[in-house]
Structure formats: structure tokens, C-alpha cells
Amino acid sequence: MVSASRKYCNPAYITAQPLPTLSIKMVALLLLFLTFPAVFGKDVKCPEGFQHFKRTPTAKNNHTKDWCLGIFRADRLDERDRARSVCANHNATLSLPENQKESDFIAAFSTKHNISEPHAVDGQTSPRCASRVYKAMKEDKHFNSSAVKGECNLNNKFFLFDDVNTDPAFVFGKFSYPPPNRLSSFATVNEPKVYHFAACLSYYPQYNPTNATNPGDAATSYCAGRPIGKVDIEHDFASGQPEIKSVICGRYPL
């Protein structure tokens, strides 16, 4: 018969016994801890041409904490579908700056590349609100999106957005004059009166290029773009708006 003391000193006995349950749990926790750097320590990266920004996740930006912004150049980007297409070619959507840091990036890029014209950005007046603007124009009344109540208030649903990951409140605070702020109409004796207003958002790189402390200024443009090859008066409504040759696009990191 083996004594108790000899039994517990025998190496063969010790090796054959299962590890205590507590030790197994500790080993599992240690392995999980060692995998944290590989899973959570990876740097967030954006594709070439995009800059990474950290955001405060909220319900208004679809709880987005990482976002990539890029500025791309092409002709006739005051035509909304052309601007959308440029972003789509970069696997992105039209976007907006959500805070001053992102707006500063746009200002710095614009200064570096000598861009003084506005950028095309996300945001187009909803059809329902556009019809209310046309009605006000017909009745020769002023429509103020920052004062009107209901869905067509500027901070409600006056604009519709392609990008659900950006809170537009920051840009709304950059308007010098609330939209609609550029309007026109055309009429002839035998044709109905036609109304136009600048229904698409645009964003100036900075309000005062030399002394701006908070660069950025929200504006609007005609979504149809400047007239090209059209010399009749009816289609001349957008001829005086600034030319847009750059667009702000946004997407998730890689």
C-alpha cells in the first residue's frame, strides 16, 4: 500500500492528474488577452487619396467613429450626377465635413491646390420641400428654411443626403444665408413661367482665405450645373454661379 505522502510526491501521479478548472480558465483568459493587439491594435487606414478622421458616434451619424474624406477634381461637378459618379469611382459617396477639424483639412487641401471655388458636397433639397419653394416663388413670398416649421426646416428634412454616416448640423451652422438663397424664373408670352432655385449643397473651402480662423462656408448651387452649349435665355439661370471643379467624397476605412 502506498502512503499518502509518497502518493503525492510521485511525478507520474502528478502528471496524470487533470489541471484544476480555475487554471484552465486562467489560461483561456491569458490567450484571449494576447490576441487583443492583433484584433484591436490594428491601425485604421483609408485608401489612397483619403484622410482618416475620428468621429464621436451618435445616432445622427449612424454611430460612425471612423470616416475617410477625400477631395477629387474634375470638370462640371456642379452637375450633381457627375459629382456622384466621381465619388462612386472611388467606392465612396458624396459627403460633408462633420466638425472643424475636417473643415480645416478641406481648407488646407484647397490652399495647397489653389482652389477658391466651392466644392460639390452631399445634400439636395427634397422634392417635397422643393415644391414648397416653387409655390412660395409663384406667390412672390420668401421661403426661409431656418424659420419654417415642419419637415422642410433646415435642421429637419429640407435636404436629403446620400451619406448616412455624417451629421450635417456642423455645415448647417456655416450658412451665411439660409437656403434657398439663389432663385430665378423665366417666362414668355406663350409658355408657362418656369422657376429655378439652387437646390444642391456646396461648400467653400474658407470664407476669408487670408484671415479665416474657422475655415468653411456653406452655400448652394443649381444641381443642373452651368449651361454648356445653351444660349437661350431660359437655360441661362445658372450661368452666373461659381464653377465647381472638385467634390468631397466619404467612405469607411479599409
What ranges do the domains of the chain cover? Answer: 4-40, 50-251
Q: Which three cell numbers stand for residue 109?
A: 487641401
For the chain, percent helix, then strand, then coil, each to nearest 5?
Answer: 30, 20, 50
Q: State how far the Cα of 215 lies from the Cα of 209, in Å rounded to an integer.
A: 8
Residue that has been written with the C-alpha cell 426661409 in this structure: 144
pLDDT in tens, the chain (254 residues): 444 444 444 444 444 455 445 465 565 555 554 444 444 446 899 999 999 999 999 999 999 999 999 999 999 999 999 999 999 999 999 999 999 999 999 999 999 999 989 999 999 999 999 999 999 999 999 999 999 999 999 999 999 999 999 999 999 999 999 999 999 999 988 889 999 999 999 999 875 445 556 778 999 999 999 888 777 788 889 998 999 999 999 999 99
Q: State how far the Cα of 248 lies from the Cα of 72, in Å rounded to an integer.
A: 7
Superfamily designation of domain 50-251: Mannose-Binding Protein A, subunit A (3.10.100.10)
In the chain, the amino acid numbered 139 is: E
pTM of the model: 0.81
In our burial notation (b when 16+ CB lie closer than 10 A, e otherwise), range 46-71 reads: beeebeebebeeeeebeebeebbbbb
Whether cis (ω within 30° of 0) applies to the bond prior to 97 is no
Give the helix/strand (H/E) hosting 112: helix 100-112
Query: Measuring CA to CA, which residue among 60, 62, 42 is closest to residue 52?
Result: 42
Q: Which three cell numbers stand for residue 76?
A: 462640371
